[in-house]
A and B are shown apart, each in its own frame.
Chain A
Amino acid sequence: MTGRNKYRNAVNNVMLTLSGICAAVTVSMLFVILAYLVYNGFSSLNLDFFTQLPKPTGQVGGGMANAILGSAQVVLIASCFGLPIGFFAGIYLAEFGGKKFCMLVRYMADLLNGVPSIVIGIFAWTVLVVPMHHFSALAGGMALSLMLIPITARSTEQFLLEVPRSMREGALALGATKWKTIATVIVPAARHHDRHDSGRRPHLRRDGAAAVYRPQQRILEHRIFLADRNAAGDDFHSRRCSLRRLAQAGLGGGTCPADDGARR
């Protein structure tokens, strides 16, 4: 009996240590990447990098100003189209929708969310680049907005559903119309609620699908704010500029829609 208990204790210790090692390994990856970028790229990071255009291959100096500006443009265009569309669609899903139609829209949004960015790039190419006869920031921005829409819609829906029922009923009982309730009570409350109560979401905790959905969306939010999808990839393909310089553009992007859509 003691032998068995010893064995069980040993298994316990080994496995728990292993799980700690797993965590250490995965977290250290981030530091390896950061250290690598800083070590290799920091020395050539100066004002010129942000304000100068790239020099021809072989010349010393120059910067990535065009790529940085292009990234900003693309993200701006994407936000202008993607965020409102996703936001209103999210309101529909949470507040107005019928059951079947909503399920269909949700499924499509999740599908669109899962579509690889390279496929979105092809779509933007056939719909925007070919008719306009040239690559453009507009095409790149639209491609990116297509990726923003489903994420925004589903997050908005989740946030709104977290607002307690009593608040809706309170507003409706005071005589507010439905859209007034949404605009002045539910949406502000959802904003507020999320900031202050991010640790405890009772109804989400119980629902498996939501437990899957929630962190995914958080991850994607990181990705959207940090991804600018132009800087690195564009140059890599069209100009084959030095790999070192691309690594320096550490802020620069997951490349695909930009690669097919926004090459200029």
Chain B
Amino acid sequence: MATSSAAIGPAGKSASRRQPFGDEVAYAVTWFFATLILGLTLWVVFELWTHSSESISKFGFHFLTTKLWNPVTDEFGALPFIYGTVLTSVLALLISVPVGVGAAIYLSELAPTKLSNALTFLVELLAAVPSVIYGLMAIFTLVPLMRDYIGPAVQAVAGKLPFFAGHVYGVGYLTAALILAIMIFPYIISVSREALMSVPRDQREAALALGATKWESTWQVVVPYARLGILGSVFLALARAIGETMAVTLVIGNDPAIHASLFAPGYTIAAVIANEFTEATGKVYLSSLIELGLVLFALTMILNAAAQLLIVLTTGKGTARG
């Protein structure tokens, strides 16, 4: 305390000697660390790029459009993995967004504050469960359930459709999507709830005063008002789903092929890296896996840019600002 008041005091000799210098140092130090973030991110891209150079020079753009993945003949294509990643993520969103937004509506509009806070805390804990636990749980519970009950039941109704055709192994796109959906619940619920709660009270009251039912005021006034936040939660969840590794690896079936059927086993980018990275023999094999990492990075970057653009566009039009 004594030292700080001496430094703040107007006439302290030591203070006046130190002052200008301290500011420069603080600026330099914090600037250095901020630049470090910039540098590290660029470094990640650089490393991925240089280490995948062999695969890039050998396959070029065909890498992204080839279905073949054959370590024996050193021929590699990323298409099955990109397909698997996109399919499982989108399916997960289709399941998770309606349920998650519904839960967020309950938590922000209906539940008493204390209950809402308690439940939200529990839902957020769901995000803290390590992904490998999800994977194991899915192996022991979801996979048999899918193989013995859900799969046959769905096929009895809609087995003619190509999406549900074929043998049900239990592991596959749909199982992975289900576990992903559970994993991204907390992101959707927590962020959407925050967005819904930030809608001003008078918006709700005005709708109710005009004779709207509670649901009408929620769905036609509150939700559109909070749509930026809700969309943000969707992007966030999508980013998580795309990068998710361990849980998906355990239940997707690990088959580098493209199937229309949702019950068929597939593969995702993150899963193939996790499975084969430390076992990759040969330079082209390894650099192909690293190029897959680069593709994953690019996907993240596109998503991130889209989310930023969305925020800029929407706030530019002034919808989400009160």
Q: Which of A29, A118, A209 makes the CB contact (< 8 A) with B185?
A: A29
Q: How far is the CA of A120 from the CA of B293 in the complex (A)?
A: 9
Chain A contributes a number of interface residues (CB within 8 A of B) equal to 103
Q: Which of B98, B216, B228 makes the CB contact (< 8 A) with A12?
A: B216
Q: Which of B40, B107, B239, B322 makes the CB contact (< 8 A) with A23?
A: B107
- B58-66, B76-84, B122-130 - interface stretch: B122-130
Q: Is A208 a contact partner of B122 (Cβ separation < 8 A)?
A: no
Q: Which residues of A contact B315 (CB under 8 A)?
A: 208-209
* Known pairs A96-B27, A111-B304, A182-B26; A33 contacts B133 (CB<8 A): yes
Q: Which of A16, A107, A205, A254 makes the CB contact (< 8 A) with B130?
A: A254
B10 interface residue per 8 A CB criterion:
yes
Q: Is B246 a contact partner of A9 (Cβ separation < 8 A)?
A: no
- A42-50, A54-62, A232-240 - interface stretch: A232-240
Q: Is A206 a contact partner of B127 (Cβ separation < 8 A)?
A: no
Q: Which residues of A contact B193 (CB under 8 A)?
A: 215
B172 interface residue per 8 A CB criterion:
no
- B44-52, B67-75, B148-156, B254-262 - interface stretch: B44-52
Shortest beta-carbon distance from B77 to chain A in Å? 19
- A72-80, A173-181, A189-197 - interface stretch: A173-181
Q: Is A222 a contact partner of B124 (Cβ separation < 8 A)?
A: yes
By CB atoms of chain A within 10 A, which of B133, B195, B219 has the most?
B133
Q: Is B103 a contact partner of A26 (Cβ separation < 8 A)?
A: yes
| Interface members, chain A 68-98 (any B CB < 8 Å) | 84-86, 88-89, 91-93, 95-97
Q: Is A255 a contact partner of B132 (Cβ separation < 8 A)?
A: yes
Classify chain B: how many residues form its interface, as a range.
Answer: 35 or more
Q: Which of B37, B136, B303, B322 makes the CB contact (< 8 A) with A149?
A: B37
Q: How far is the CA of A212 from the CA of B314 in the complex (A)?
A: 14
Q: How far is the CA of A220 from the CA of B125 in the complex (A)?
A: 10
B158 interface residue per 8 A CB criterion:
no
Q: How far is the CA of A119 from the CA of B213 in the complex (A)?
A: 49
A184 interface residue per 8 A CB criterion:
yes
B169 interface residue per 8 A CB criterion:
no
Q: Which residues of B contact A236 (CB under 8 A)?
A: 132
* Known pairs A115-B243, A116-B245, A254-B131; A11 contacts B213 (CB<8 A): yes
* Known pairs A23-B103, A109-B37, A211-B194; A180 contacts B22 (CB<8 A): yes
| Interface members, chain A 1-45 (any B CB < 8 Å) | 8-9, 11-12, 15-16, 18-23, 25-27, 29-30, 33, 36-37
B9-33: CB near A (< 8 Å → 1, else 0) gives: 1100000000110110111011111
Q: Is A30 a contact partner of B277 (Cβ separation < 8 A)?
A: no
Residue of B nearest to A253 (CB): B130
Residue of B nearest to A112 (CB): B41
Q: Is A212 a contact partner of B8 (Cβ separation < 8 A)?
A: no
What are 12 A-B pairs with beta-carbon distances under 8 A? A26-B100, A88-B33, A108-B38, A112-B41, A118-B274, A123-B48, A153-B37, A178-B23, A208-B228, A219-B127, A256-B274, A260-B277
User: Assuming A180-B7, A206-B198, A260-B277, what are 10 further A-B pairs, CB within 8 angstroms?
Assistant: A22-B98, A22-B106, A30-B126, A89-B36, A109-B37, A115-B44, A149-B36, A175-B8, A247-B133, A247-B136
Q: Which residues of A contact B (CB under 8 A)?
A: 8-9, 11-12, 15-16, 18-23, 25-27, 29-30, 33, 36-37, 84-86, 88-89, 91-93, 95-97, 101-102, 104-105, 107-112, 114-123, 125-127, 146, 149-150, 153, 171, 174-180, 182, 184, 205-209, 211-212, 214-216, 218-220, 222-223, 225-227, 232-233, 236-237, 243, 246-247, 250-256, 259-260, 263
